């Protein structure tokens, strides 16, 4: 029984990491779009990179996963 309980906790931990990746991706996407709208030319290039990384995170982790887990 201890064997199954350990793996249940490991699976829950992995799921939590995926959920945090999803939330960070969503927040990065919002910050990136706002940065593109309101910052100067040099920071716009950085914000484009932030948007790219956020889209990759959302593609890997899934947008629905974080929203469902935190009930946003």
With a cut of 80, say whether residue 25 has pLDDT above it: yes
Residue 6 placed within a domain: no
With a cut of 80, say whether residue 72 has pLDDT above it: no
Q: Tens of pLDDT along 28-71?
A: 999 999 988 888 878 888 888 889 999 888 888 876 776 677 66
The length of the chain, given as a count of residues: 72
Q: Is 1 helix (H, G, I), strand (E, B) or coil?
A: coil
pLDDT at 66: 67
Q: Report, as an integer, the average pLDDT of 1-22.
A: 80
Residue 23 placed within a domain: yes
The count of domains in the chain is: 1
Give the number of other CB atoms < 10 A from CB of residue 19: 18
Residue numbers of the domain that contains 29: 11-70
Q: What angle do CA 38, 42, 45 make, to 5 degrees?
A: 85
The conformational region for residue 39 under phi > 0 = left, psi -120 to 50 = alpha, else beta, is beta
Give the number of other CB atoms < 10 A from CB of residue 39: 13
């Amino acid at each position: 029984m201890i064997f199954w309980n350990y793996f249940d906790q490991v699976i829950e931990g992995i799921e939590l990491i995926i959920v945090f990746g999803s939330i960070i991706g969503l927040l990065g996407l919002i910050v990136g779009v706002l940065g593109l709208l309101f910052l100067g030319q040099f920071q716009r290039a950085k914000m484009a990179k932030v948007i790219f990384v956020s889209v990759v995170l959302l593609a890997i982790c899934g947008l629905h996963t974080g929203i469902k887990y935190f009930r946003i």
